[in-house]
Every structure is written in structure tokens, then in C-alpha cells.
Chains A and B, each alone.
Chain A
């Protein structure tokens, strides 16, 4: 554009000069044709264009110098405009003799500025990387802090649950201890009862043995009575025989034996009654004997049963002693479980309070980390602004391929960026999780 302008500018000058010469020539020709010319006039007429031509040549030379200078100034101005726009890569051409020194100074100055900006950008770049790392670390700290807060909340909930469970265990163990104590008392009562039963069984056994002895004696007496009854029965039979023989003899004696016959009949009648009664007695005595034998057998069985009961009572006694010992051991175990549950509850409470403290400290740390993150973010923004500002200074030629790669890297950074919660979002999230943990 500038070259095009230069070419048009010089052509205009040539066209102008040509037009001037042609104008002069035309004026001379017109003057010659229109008037009669004298020598002086002719000389004037011919000398004037020469002077005019010289003047024009001089003017043209001056003009060319001015244009040359102006061109150099224009180049400097254009370069300065670009420098003012931040492009330090431009160089002022040093081929203009008028503006060569200025151009050299400007070039040297831009060179120094480039170096200065480069020297500034390098630590800024390093600082930006460091701040980015700090930001990432701070973000990680915030995230870790939140995770730690959640873990602490969960641990607190678990500890609270543990406290509640320990208290329930304590209640259950207390109830179990009371039940065990009641069982132990009942076992002790059962133990006393077995002692009483044992004593009573021994008494029963002795009593039954005594009764058995009496029954044996009774059996012997019954046997003796039976023998006596049988003897009486035998006597009755003998008396019956005597009565029968008396009647027979009375019959033999005829009329004289009639009184004996009456006596024999009377004896027979008496014997009938006596025999019936004797038979009844013998039957009942035998029945009594059988009953006595049954009673004796029953008593012997009773003694055997009582002995068996005594053995069972002994076993029951030993079992109750074992149960008593077991109940005592269970009571001790329950007591130790109760103590352990109490200690566990106390420990859980301590842990709960420690967790609360940790959570509060962690919340403080999270706030600090968030503040750090915010500070780092603002610092990064400031650094980004400074970098943007510095990047406005063009100090190196950047190819199109490098610009494309830089754009791709920026896009990658955008894609890999993590989701950053806002403050109110994070608080809402934490409140929701805390409410869920408390439920």
C-alpha cells in the first residue's frame, strides 16, 4: 500500500513537471504566433523557460530530498505506530541516510525492549506455572478437606451410632445381669429345694424302710394268723367230723341216741356258722396277706424309687451347682461386657468430640484453603492479565502452525479443567450430606 502510494506520488511529480513544461512551451508558441517578437523578447521568451526549467529542476531536487526525508520519517512513523501497538518485532529500515541514525536508535531501543520484555516474561511464565501448581494443590487441599470433612462426619455418625449401640448394650447387659441374678437366685432356691427334697427323700426312705419292716412283721403276723386260722379251720373240720360221727353213733344207738343226735345237729349248725366265718376269716386273712405282700413289694419299690429319686436329686444337685457356677460366670461376663460397653461408649464420646474438633479444624482448613484458592485464583487472574498485557508486546515472529498448536493446548486445558463448585453450592452440598448423616 505504501509502495503503491510512493509510485503514484513520484508519477504525479513527473506529470506535473511535464505539464508545466508543456504549459511553458505552449505559452511561448502562443506568444510567437500571436505577436511580433523582438530579440529581447525572444531572449526573454526563451530565457524565461530556461530559468523556469532550472528553477523547476532545483525545486524538483529539493522536492526529491524532502520526499526522501519524508519517506524515512514515514517509515519511522509507521514503525513507531507498530511499536505503539506493541509490535516490537518491527525494524526501521536503515537505508535512509536522513533517518538512519534515528532508525538505528529505534531498532536498538526495540531490541532492548524485546530483551527486557523477554526477561520479564520468563519469570512470569515460571511464576504462573508455580501459581498454577499452587492453585491445583490448593484445590486438591480443598477437595481433600471436603473429603476429610465428609469422612469425619461419617466417623462422627458412626461414633454416635457406636455410643447408642454401646448404651443399648449396657441396657441389655443390665437387663441380662438382672435376669442372670434372678436365675441365680432361683437356682439357689432350687438348690435349697433339692436339699430339702433330698432330706425329705431320706426321711421317706427311712420311713418306708421302717414301714417295710413293720409290713414284714405284719406279714409274719398275718402268716401266723393265717396258720392259726387254718388250724382253727382244721379244728372245725375235726369238730365237724366229730359231729358227723356223733350223729352216726346216735343213729346207731337208736332211741337212746336221739339226744346225741340233737347235740350233733346243734354242733353241726354251730360248725356251719363257724366254718363259714372261718372260711371268711381265712379268705380275708389270705387277702390281707396278699395285700401285705403287695404293700411290701410296693414299699420295696417305693424304697427303690426313693433311692432312684435320691440319685436324681444328687444329679440335680450337681447340675444346679454347675448351673449356679455357670450363672455366676455369665454374670461376671455380663458385668465385664457392661464395663467394656461403658468404656466403649466413653471412648466413642471422646472420639466423637475429637471428631467434632477435627471437623471444625478441617472446616477452618477448608476455609483457609478456599481462601488460598481464591487468592491463588485472583493471583492467577492478575498474572494472566499481566501475561496478556505482556503478550501484547510482540517480540518474536510467531508462525501460523505455532498459533494453531497454542490454541489446541488452550482447548486441552479447558477440557481437562475440573469442576469448581461455587461457595454456596459447596455449602448446600455439605449441609445435605450432614443432614443425611444425622438421619
Chain B
């Protein structure tokens, strides 16, 4: 009596187990950090996933008198008003004269909804979490708002912590107080 089909399959399995190499072990899924590569005031930064509301072209703004210099104005956006802040003036704390910032990122936090101008936009990037560098020197103006970063093509991309930005008292008060007013306006 011949062998049954199941026996043949079992035999094939045994032979295969005996002759063939072992199947490669599946690598453990790596935890990756996902974010968007962009630039503020010429500093390449990474914004973590979920921290951005969206990126929009800088809308036409209406200046608001009595506000700080980094407040470019208020723009009509999606049926509402969106304050637009200058990333250059906000972080550098000095007037900005340069190329027009075409894009800005919209940040929405409880009690805060504003747009911050960007110097450049790249794309979404994905880094292994273990590659995060925490002790790399960062631009002094951004050092207190960053939390480590990743090396990408030889450049260090610092991770901008939006929570630290919005927690800053300077951002929480846009009124141009005497002791906090910054002389000069940007060309925006």
C-alpha cells in the first residue's frame, strides 16, 4: 500500500527540514520616530508626528497694532482668524529682513491656535528611535525648545518640541509690553 498524500507532505517536510537552510529569523519590528523635516529661521528642525495641524502657504495678514514684533498679523483662514507669527523674529529675537517666508505651520494646542512661518520644508522623515542623539549642540536660540535630534545626510536635525514652545511665556503674551517690546518690524 502506497503512502498517503499527507505522508508524502510530511516526508517532504522532513526532507526539507533536513536539507534546507534554516529560514531567516524575522527581525523584531523597529521602533521608528516619524516626523516632518522643516526649517525655522534657517535652522533645520524636525517636528514630531501629530504635533502639526497642517502646513499652509503663508496667507495675507492684517497687522495687529500693539502686538509684539513676532506677530505678523491675523489672517482669514478656513472661516476663522489665524494669527501668524514670524519664526525668525520669535526665535532670533531680532528683526528679520530677508526672503519672504512662503509657508507656515499651523499649530493647535489647547488655548493656542497660530501659524509659525517656516524657512523651508522638506518632507516626512522616519528615523530609528535608537539613533536619536540627545547631546548634539544646537543653535543657541533653539536650544531650550529642542529635545535631541537625528543625523540625516551629515546634518543634525534637532527635534523641536512644540510643547516647550507653547509653554514659553513670551509666546503666551503677544501684547507689546514696554519691557518686552522689540524694536523694529520685519519686512513681512
Give CA–CA (A264, B124) in the complex, Å.
9
Contact between B54 and A245 (Cβ–Cβ < 8 Å)?
Answer: yes
Mostly, the B contact residues are strand
The number of chain B residues with a CB under 8 A from chain A is 15
Q: Shortest distance in angstroms between A249's beta carbon and chain B's nearest beta carbon?
A: 8
A244 in contact with B123 (CB, 8 Å): yes
Is A247 part of the binding interface, using a Cβ–Cβ cutoff of 8 Å?
Answer: yes
Q: Mark B95-128, 1 if CB is under 8 A from A, else 0.
A: 0000000110000000000000000011110000
Question: Is B171's beta carbon under 8 Å from chain A?
Answer: no
The 4 closest A-B pairs by CB, nearest first: A268-B123, A241-B55, A245-B54, A268-B124
Bin the interface of chain A by size: 10 to 19
Bound complex: CA of A429 vs CA of B2, how far in Å? 160
Interface centre among A244, A272, A275 (most CB of B within 10 A): A244
Report the separation of the CA atoms of residues A219 and B34 in the bound assembly, to the nearest whole angstrom.
43
Please, which residues of chain B bring their CB within 8 A of the CB of A265? 124
30 CB < 8 A contacts A-B: A234-B102, A237-B103, A240-B121, A240-B122, A240-B123, A241-B55, A241-B57, A241-B103, A241-B121, A243-B123, A243-B124, A244-B36, A244-B52, A244-B55, A244-B121, A244-B123, A244-B124, A245-B54, A248-B52, A248-B53, A248-B54, A249-B54, A251-B49, A251-B50, A264-B124, A265-B124, A268-B123, A268-B124, A271-B123, A275-B123
CA distance A249 to B103 in the complex (A): 18
Residue of A nearest to B53 (CB): A248
Tell me the residues in window 212-267 of chain A with beta carbons closer than 8 Å to chain B beta carbons.
234, 237, 240-241, 243-245, 247-249, 251, 264-265
B50 near A275 with CB under 8 A, answer no
The chain B residue with its CB closest to the CB of A240 is B123
**Residues of B close to A275: CB separation below 8 A:** 122-123
The A-contacting residues of B in range 53-68, CB under 8 angstroms, are: 53-57
Q: Residues of B contacting A271 with CB < 8 Å? A: 123
Could you say which residues of chain A place their CB within 8 Å of the CB of B53?
248
B: residues with CB less than 8 A from A are: 36, 49-50, 52-57, 102-103, 121-124
Give the residue name and chain of the A residue nearest to B54 (CB): A245
Closest-by-CB residue of A relative to B103 is: A241
CA of A203 to CA of B187 in the docked complex: distance in angstroms?
53
Choose from A234, A249, A251, A272 the contact partner of B123 (Cβ within 8 Å): A272
Chain B residue at minimal CB-CB distance from A267: B123
With a cutoff of 8 Å between Cβ atoms, the chain B residues found around residue A251 in the complex are 49-50
Contact B122 A247 (CB under 8 A): no
- Enumerate chain B residues within 8 angstroms of A244, measured Cβ to Cβ: 36, 52, 54-55, 121, 123-124
Q: Separation in Å of the B59 CB from the closest CB of chain A?
A: 14
Rounded to whole Å, the gap between the CB of B110 and the closest CB of chain A is 16
Separation in Å of the A260 CB from the closest CB of chain B? Answer: 13
Residue in chain A with minimal CB distance to B49 = A251
Q: How far is the CA of A271 from the CA of B50 in the complex (A)?
A: 21
* Bound Cα distance A251, B50 (Å): 7
Complex contacts, B54 vs chain A, CB 8 Å:
244-245, 248-249
- Which residues of B sit under 8 angstroms from A241, Cβ to Cβ? 55-57, 103, 121
Shortest CB distance B49–A (Å)? 7
How many angstroms between the C-alpha atoms of A268 and B49 in the bound complex? Answer: 14
User: Across the interface, which residues of B come within 8 angstroms of A234, CB to CB?
Assistant: 102
Q: Tell me the complex Cα distance, A234–B55, Å.
A: 14
Contact B124 A237 (CB under 8 A): no
B118 vs chain A, min Cβ distance (A)? 10
CA distance A248 to B53 in the complex (A): 7
Closest to B105 in A: A244
Question: B123: which A residues are within 8 A, CB to CB?
Answer: 240, 243-244, 268, 271-272, 275
In whole Å, how far is B20's beta carbon from the nearest beta carbon of chain A? 34
Contacts of A264 in B (CB 8 A): 124
What residues of A have a CB within 8 angstroms of the CB of B103 in the complex?
237, 241
